[in-house]
Amino acid sequence: MAPQKSNNFIKKDIKFETNTLNEVIKYLDPALVQIINKIPNDIKERVEEIRIRSGKPLMVCLDGTDYIINKDGSISLNNFNPYISTSLNVSKSFQILSNYSVYAIEEELKNGFLTIKGGHRVGVSGKVVYGKNGLETIKDISSLNVRIARAKIGVSDDIMKYIIKNPNTIYHTLIVSPPQCGKTTLLRDMIRNLSNGMTKYKFRGLKIGLVDERSEIASLYNGQPQNNIGIRTDVLDGCKKYDGMILLIRSMSPHVIATDELGDEKDINAIHEALKAGVKVIATVHGEGIDDLNSKPNLKEIIKEKIFERIFILDNSKGVGTIKQILDGYTYRSVREEDNNYVSLKNIRKSNNYNFV
C-alpha cells in the first residue's frame, strides 16, 4: 500500500471490527437489537454512536453525520419509515446497561455517563435531581447515547520520536486541540508506547501515573482498564487532577504523569508540584493554537514559563486526528521532519509487531 501524504494519525482505512458493535448492543433492549442487527455489515463497522431517544427515531452516527434507522434496517438521512424508540426501549436498555442496579452507578450517573465493558461510554439524560450536595442523580431517563469506543492502537508510533529524549527520558509534552480532534486518542496511545517501551528507539519504557479524571483514557470497568494503556501504567480513575498527581507522586513513584484536559488553577499548581518532584508531564488541553492558549487565564502562565518542551497542535483540517504542528516549547519552531510527516497504514501494522515488549 502506497504511503499517504498526510498528517492524519487516525486512518479511515483501518478496518473496524463488526464485533465491537455486537458487543455493545448486547447491553440494549432486545427489541432494539433486532432492528440494529438488520443494519448492513459495512455500515455496522463504522457506527460511532447509537442514539436512543424516547418517542423519537432511533439514530446512528457515522462519519460525522447522523442517520435515521428505518424499520427494515436500512439507514437514511431523512424520515422514511423510521423506527421510533419508545420510553420502554429506553428504560429497558438503561436497566441492562446499569446491570439492573442504579445504586451501583450512582457516582457515575452524577457525571452523566456510565462506562460499560469494553470501555464504551453511554451518555444519559433525563430529569436531574438536586439534593444537599448538589447534583444527586438523573431519573426518568429520556435519552441514551451509546458511544462506541474503538481504541486506535498504533496511532502515535511514528511521532514518538519527537517525545522521546535519550537517555530513556521524555520531553514535557502538551497536546493542544479543539474538541473531537483526537487528543485523548493520541494521548492514550502515547501512554501505551511510553509505558511499553519502543525497541525501535531503544526506549525501555517508563513508569507512568495516569490521572484519568473523566475515565476516558483507561476506561476502567470493575477496576480493569478496558483500553490498552501499557504495562507500566498505574491508573487513578475519576480522581481530580490535583489530588491525583500529588497522590501518585507520593505513592507510585512515576517517571511520567499523564493527564487529560488541563485548565483549572489547581491543575497548574499540580504541574508545578510534579516539576518539583522531577516527574515528566504529558497533558492535553483544549485550544486552537499557541495564541489561543495565551489568551486563557490559567494556561497563559505555563506557556509563559515554558514548562512544556514539545507542543502538539491538532485540528481536523484533514479529518479527525490531523497533526497540524509539532512545536518546540522554547522557540515555537516546528521540529517535524517534513519528509517524514505521514503515518501510513503499513507503518502502523509493522510497528504493531513489537508493541508488547
Q: Which of 37, 99, 169, 251 binds other proteins (CB under 8 A)?
A: 99
Nearer to other proteins, 108 or 301 (CB): 108
Task: Look at residues 138, 132, 135 and name the one whose alpha carbon lies nearest to residue 109.
Answer: 138
130 binding other proteins? (CB under 8 A): no
Nearer to other proteins, 116 or 314 (CB): 116
Taking CB under 8 A as the binding criterion, the range among 24-32, 143-151, 187-195, 252-260 that sits at the site for other proteins is 24-32
Taking CB under 8 A as the binding criterion, the range among 26-34, 250-258, 289-297, 329-337 that sits at the site for other proteins is 26-34
Tell the smallest beta-carbon distance from residue 28 to other proteins (Å): 8
40 binding other proteins? (CB under 8 A): no
Nearer to other proteins, 14 or 33 (CB): 33
137 binding other proteins? (CB under 8 A): yes
Tell the smallest beta-carbon distance from residue 234 to other proteins (Å): 23
Taking CB under 8 A as the binding criterion, the range among 65-73, 101-109, 160-168, 241-249 that sits at the site for other proteins is 101-109
104 binding other proteins? (CB under 8 A): yes
140 binding other proteins? (CB under 8 A): no
What is the SS3 assignment for the chain? CCCCCCCECCCCCCCCCHHHHHHHHCCCCHHHHHHHHCCCHHHHCCCCEEEEECCCECEEEECCEEEEEECCCCEECCCCCECECCHHHHHHHHHHHCCCCHHHHHHHHHCCEEEECCCEEEEEEEEEEEECCEEEEEEEEEEEEEECCCCCCCCCHHHHHHCEECCCEECCEEEEECCCCCHHHHHHHHHHHHHHCEHHHCECCCCEEEEECCCCCCCEECCEECCCCCCCEEEEECCCHHHHHHHHHHHCCCCEEEECCCCCHHHHHHHHHHHHCCCEEEEEEECCCHHHHHCCHHHHHHHHCCCCCEEEEEECECECCEEEEEEECCCCCECCCHHHCCCCHHHHHHHHCCCCC
Interface size with other proteins, residues (CB under 8 A): 18
Tell the smallest beta-carbon distance from residue 162 to other proteins (Å): 44
Q: Which of 4, 6, 18, 95 binds other proteins (CB under 8 A)?
A: 95
Nearer to other proteins, 102 or 335 (CB): 102
Taking CB under 8 A as the binding criterion, the range among 69-77, 93-101, 202-210, 252-260 that sits at the site for other proteins is 93-101
100 binding other proteins? (CB under 8 A): yes
- In the block, cell 479529518 appears at 319
Taking CB under 8 A as the binding criterion, the range among 5-13, 23-31, 227-235, 260-268 that sits at the site for other proteins is 23-31
Nearer to other proteins, 141 or 208 (CB): 141
Provide the binding-site residues for other proteins, judged by CB under 8 A: 26, 29-31, 92, 95-96, 98-104, 106, 136-137, 139
